[in-house]
Amino acid sequence: MVVLSRSADSHLSGAATGLEVRPFRALTYRQREPEHLARVSSPAYDLVTPAGRDRLADADPHNIVRLILPRVDSPAGTSSGGGVLPSAQHAAVALRQWEAEGVLDRDDSQALWLYELTPADGAPATLGWLGAVALPTAGSAAVLPHEDTYAPAVEGRRALLAATETDLEPIVLAHDPEPTVARLTRTARQGQPTLELQDTDGVRHRLWRVTDPEVLTELSRALHRTGAVIADGHHRFAAAVAHARMEPDTVGADAVLALVTPMGPGGLRVDPIHRVVPDLALADAAAAAGRGFRVTELPLPAQAAALEVAVREWLAADDEVGFLITDGSRLIALTEPSTEARSAVPHEAPSAWRGLDVVLAHHGLLAHLWSRSDDPASVHIAHSIPEALRTARERSGVALLLRAPSPADVAAVARAGARMPRKSTLFVPKPRTGLVMRPLGD
């Protein structure tokens, strides 16, 4: 794993920060009824399972999943001239057809979009602004990543961006708190929203299109006084950077569509992302883990449905470092990491990085004790406890259940110029893909 980023030294020496957020001419669905928007929109591409992709595609012939996860009959991974994957070309053809048929409309003027996400569980709403965020120049710390990326995934997103010439879904940035941004957000959050829907998780999405030049200017100036950490979309950000490098003369390629939210009140919360190691017996996993951790088998609830509750309660306790492993029928806690486990964590890394549970899990447990490399074939990603349990059963493997880092932990790692393991954080709630897109060339 690469711990220090290329921009770490420039950031630590006081390199300029400052988000550059630009208004843009959006591409949206012409039909804007909430029911229609719910039917044609989608979660972010990396949250969509194969079965979920089929359900979304079947819900409407113009569901955005047909563009962000295009499916063609050609063999996976093959490419055509210019290095563009056939699936990306397929998405580009479909996008142009939808525009020609009037399914999608292009705004005639530039705007920023205020985005409100209200969770169903009564948690406070998350508020942010959708805009075209300029890709930082060399030496800038305006936008800091905090996670490693997987090169094939970056290339897939880059090929899709190159073929469609459109930002189909936003990344998410968490910026430093700024009082002027907060004031302008409160003011713009009035009147009837431009777009509105409720998704299948019960999250209510409301967006206001803001075109007032004075508001846009004041907001852009205020955001320029802040720096940001990538909360979601590391692969898409890396893809945008790669595309800009390959197509420097393409208008609009020097920016990426982003939802810019505050760090702290009004911003996002962090949930954990779990791991599943396929084809690993729990007994073997526990025996190997015993060389570096205290291994304690936990009593299982009488009802299988209560297993998720028991896992959540254990992970919610902050009294000790540790993880849970399970095959869906037994539950084992790994605590009290030994010197052997901790010594697998690179000592030269920043202290903010070394202290993370997910780092110890990857270096001390997965790599050192279980001898698993960090690639999608060896370690699967699960965005929820039920998904982790289900995948462990299906793949005859072991689910590794982790606690979430705090937003402050994430920011500290990014500002130290370090990278967490890929897919370490799940910032929620998530913006809905397909509501607002950004064509390049603006």
What residues does each domain of the chain span?
8-269+428-439, 274-401
Q: At what angle do helices 213-223 and 179-188 cross, to 10 degrees?
A: 150
Query: In degrees rounded to 5, what are phi and psi of residue 312?
Result: -60, -40
Q: ∠232-49-172 over CA atoms, to 5°?
A: 10
- pLDDT recorded at residue 302: 65
Which alpha helices (DSSP H) does 179-233 contain, by range?
179-188, 213-223
Q: In 3D, which of 258, 248, 295 has the Cα closest to residue 113? A: 258
Strands 143-144 and 228-232: parallel
Encoding tokens for residue 86?
A: 């056939």
Q: Is 354 helix (H, G, I), strand (E, B) or coil?
A: helix
- pLDDT recorded at residue 93: 96
The secondary element (H helix, E strand) that includes residue 174 is strand 171-175
The average pLDDT across 401-406 equals 88
pLDDT interval class at 419 (50, 70, 90): confident
Residues 34 and 197: beta-carbon distance below 8 Å:
yes
Q: In 3D, which of 191, 194, 190 has the Cα closest to residue 208? A: 194
The secondary element (H helix, E strand) that includes residue 380 is strand 380-382
Query: What is the share, in percent, of the chain residues with pLDDT greater than 90?
Result: 67
Place of tokens 């306790």: 317
Strands 425-428 and 269-272: antiparallel
Rounded CA separation 427/415 (Å):
18
- pLDDT recorded at residue 15: 41
pLDDT interval class at 11 (50, 70, 90): very low
Res 110 pLDDT > 80: yes
Please report, for residues 139, 188, 225, 228, 267, the alpha-carbon distance to residue 263 in angstroms, rounded to integers and kept in the order given. 23, 19, 14, 8, 5
What radius of gyration do the chain's Cα atoms show?
A: 22
Encoding tokens for residue 354?
A: 């070394």
Bond from prior residue into 407 cis (ω within 30 degrees of 0): no
Q: What is the pTM of this model?
A: 0.78
Res 75 pLDDT > 60: no
Dihedral over Cα of 282, 283, 288, 291: its sign: positive
**Choice among 285-294, 337-346, 394-403, 415-424 with the minimum mean pLDDT:** 415-424
Please report, for residues 19, 98, 229, 422, the alpha-carbon distance to residue 67 in angstroms, rounded to integers and kept in the order given. 29, 11, 27, 24
Encoding tokens for residue 245?
A: 């490098």
Q: Which residues have a Cβ under 8 Å from the Cβ of 40 and sit 6 or more positions away?
A: 29, 59, 60, 62, 63, 64, 434
Which alpha helices (DSSP H) does 259-367 contain, by range?
282-289, 307-316, 339-343, 351-354, 357-360
Place of tokens 């029928």: 329
Q: Is 163 helix (H, G, I), strand (E, B) or coil?
A: helix
Most confidently predicted of 65-69, 317-321, 329-333: 65-69
Res 427 pLDDT > 60: yes
The average pLDDT across 21-30 equals 98
Strands 171-175 and 255-262: parallel
Residues 400 and 366: beta-carbon distance below 8 Å:
yes
Res 77 pLDDT > 70: no
Q: b or e along 279-307 (b: 16 or more beta carbons within 10 Å of the residue's beta carbon)? A: ebebeebbebbeebbebeeeeeeeeeeeb
Residues 323 and 365: beta-carbon distance below 8 Å:
yes
User: Which amino acid belongs to residue 351?
Assistant: S
Rounded CA separation 253/440 (Å):
6
Dihedral over Cα of 420, 424, 425, 431: its sign: positive
The average pLDDT across 121-150 equals 89
The larger pLDDT score, comparing residue 122 to residue 106, is at 106
- pLDDT recorded at residue 255: 97
**Choice among 22-26, 48-52, 357-361, 419-423 with the minimum mean pLDDT:** 419-423
Q: ∠153-154-158 over CA atoms, to 5°?
A: 120
Which alpha helices (DSSP H) does 6-49 contain, by range?
8-12, 34-40
